[in-house]
């Protein structure tokens, strides 16, 4: 089967020189006179990742002209915030793997991971302060507050089998979409784009972030070795995500599924395989993908009216690609072999 062309790689190629500069600034920000701090933070940053969020900051600014220094500062701030939240998430979720490597909390303990995350937040604010573009500091600070609220809301709703769609969407927006939103919006602000153009970039980022989060939740039950997410992470942690919410609304018999998310319930590999098979044949997968595509459509339409350029053309392809990769995998791998 022919693979879906990866527009994220295309965008990275278009911004290659800018991204190299950004990575250099990022690695400088990780340095500390306390060597252990540098060791912990560099462990996660150097483990990989596509740097999607800072790349979108650079791309959004470059839609309107040549690279400006402020987009490097804000792109670095975006990546530092993202990395800090990953360090804290791994502590909250008691995770042991991230990007195929042992997590910082496993290697250095929870206390060190939390403090390293705090260090990255402080570096992010230093980077934001260095930017001189009016208004960007408020956009980033507001996003950070929403991210923290989203994390608390998700923790409060953990293993709540009656979690409704609106609350799920609020968590997805706060945890994921608002940082995509801010990353794109500040890029436009740095470039001197109009209020309407910045709002379009904001809509693009927010809806791309929602599509991104939904596909991440789908991959928990339809895992891909190429995607890098360990199968069943959300399931075994008892997180109620979109596939579970959809299943409870569409499947006839949900008693057994509900029992898996009761307090102190034990979830086995056999349970996980049964859930995956059930979701594949019960329309749950299709419903989740349709919803992800609906957010991708809004994102595409928002960026499509911005000034045409090779960068805009690739940005327009990214939302559909984010969703299409899960469809491509699930068509290529039999559901019975996925759990």
pLDDT in tens, 326-339: 887 665 544 433 44
Which residues, in sequence order, are CB contacts of 76 under 8 Å at separation 6+?
Answer: 22, 25, 26, 29, 54, 124, 127
Residue 268 has pLDDT above 90, yes or no: yes
What mean pLDDT is predicted for residues 135-160? 91
Residue-range domain boundaries for the chain: 7-337
Q: Which residue has the higher pLDDT, 188 or 338?
A: 188
Q: pLDDT at position 4, please?
A: 52
SS (H, E, C) the chain: CCCCCCHHHHHHHHCHHHHHHHHHHHHHHCCCCCHHHHHHHHHHHCCCCCCHHHHHHHHHHHCCCCCCHHHHHHHHHHHHHHHHHHHHHHHHHCCCEECCEECHHHHHCHHHHHHHHHHHHHHHHHHHHHCCCCCHHHHHHHHHHHHHHHHHHHHHCCCCCCCCHHHHHHHHHHHHHHHHHHHHHHHHHHHCCCHHHHHHHHHHHHHHHHHHHHHHHHHCCCCCCCCCCCCCHHHHHCCCCHHHHHHHHHCCCCHHHHHCCCCCCCCCHHHHHHHHHHHHHCCHHHHHHHHHHHHHHHHHHHHHCCCCCHHHHHHHHHHHHHHHHHHHHHHHCCHHHCC
* pLDDT greater than 80 at residue 309: yes
Residue-averaged pLDDT of the chain: 89
The span from the CA of 212 to the CA of 222, in Å, is 15
Average pLDDT over residues 284-291: 92
Across 200-226, average pLDDT: 88
- 293 pLDDT band, cuts 50/70/90, is very high
pLDDT at 331: 58
Return the pLDDT at 109.
84
Is the alpha carbon torsion for 27, 33, 39, 40 positive or negative? negative
**Taking residues 81-105, what's their average pLDDT?**
82
Confidence of residue 251 (pLDDT cuts 50, 70, 90): confident
Q: In which band, very low, low, confident or very high, does the pLDDT at 106 lie, cut at 50, 70 and 90?
A: confident
Which range has the top average pLDDT, 124-138, 151-165, 228-242?
A: 124-138
Mean pLDDT value across residues 18-47: 88
Average pLDDT over residues 156-181: 92
pLDDT of the residue at 224: 57
At residue 277 the predicted structure's pLDDT band, cuts being 50, 70 and 90, is confident
pLDDT in the model for residue 229: 60
What is this structure's pTM?
A: 0.92
State residue 5's pLDDT score. Answer: 64
Q: Considering the domain 7-337 in this protein, what is its CATH number?
A: 1.10.600.10
* Confidence (pLDDT) at 48: 65
Q: 40-49, 158-167, 301-310: which has the highest mean pLDDT? A: 301-310
Whether the pLDDT of residue 250 is over 60: the answer is yes
Per-residue pLDDT at 295 exceeds 70: yes
């Amino acid at each position: 089967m022919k693979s879906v062309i990866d527009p994220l790689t295309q965008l990275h190629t278009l911004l290659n020189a800018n991204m190299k500069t950004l990575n250099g600034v990022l690695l400088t920000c990780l340095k500390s006179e306390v060597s252990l701090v540098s060791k912990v933070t560099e462990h996660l940053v150097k483990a990989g990742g596509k740097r999607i969020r800072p790349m979108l900051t650079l791309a959004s600014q470059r839609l309107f002209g040549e690279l400006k220094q402020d987009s490097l500062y804000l792109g670095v701030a975006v990546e530092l915030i993202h990395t800090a939240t990953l360090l804290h998430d791994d502590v909250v979720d008691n995770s042991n793997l991230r990007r195929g490597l042992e997590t910082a909390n496993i290697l250095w303990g929870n206390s060190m991971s939390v403090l390293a995350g705090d260090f990255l937040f402080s570096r992010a604010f230093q980077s934001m302060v260095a930017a001189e573009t009016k208004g960007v500091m408020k956009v980033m600070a507001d996003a950070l507050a929403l991210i923290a609220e989203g994390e608390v809301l998700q923790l409060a709703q953990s293993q709540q089998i009656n979690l409704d769609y609106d609350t799920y969407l609020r968590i997805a927006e706060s945890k994921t979409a608002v940082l995509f939103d801010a990353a794109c919006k500040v890029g436009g602000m740095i470039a001197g784009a109009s209020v309407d153009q910045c709002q379009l970039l904001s809509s693009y980022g927010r809806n791309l972030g929602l599509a991104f989060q939904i596909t991440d939740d789908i991959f928990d039950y339809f895992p891909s070795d190429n995607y890098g997410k360990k199968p069943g992470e959300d399931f075994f942690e008892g997180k109620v995500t979109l596939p579970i919410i959809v299943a409870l609304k569409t499947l006839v018999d949900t008693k057994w599924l509900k029992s898996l998310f009761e307090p102190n319930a034990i979830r086995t590999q056999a349970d996980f395989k049964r859930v995956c098979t059930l979701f594949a044949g019960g329309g749950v997968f299709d419903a989740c993908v349709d919803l992800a595509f609906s957010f991708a459509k809004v994102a595409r339409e928002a960026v499509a009216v911005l000034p045409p350029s090779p960068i805009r053309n690739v940005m327009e392809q990214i939302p559909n690609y984010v969703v299409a990769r899960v469809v491509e995998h699930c068509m290529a791998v039999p559901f019975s072999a996925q759990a």
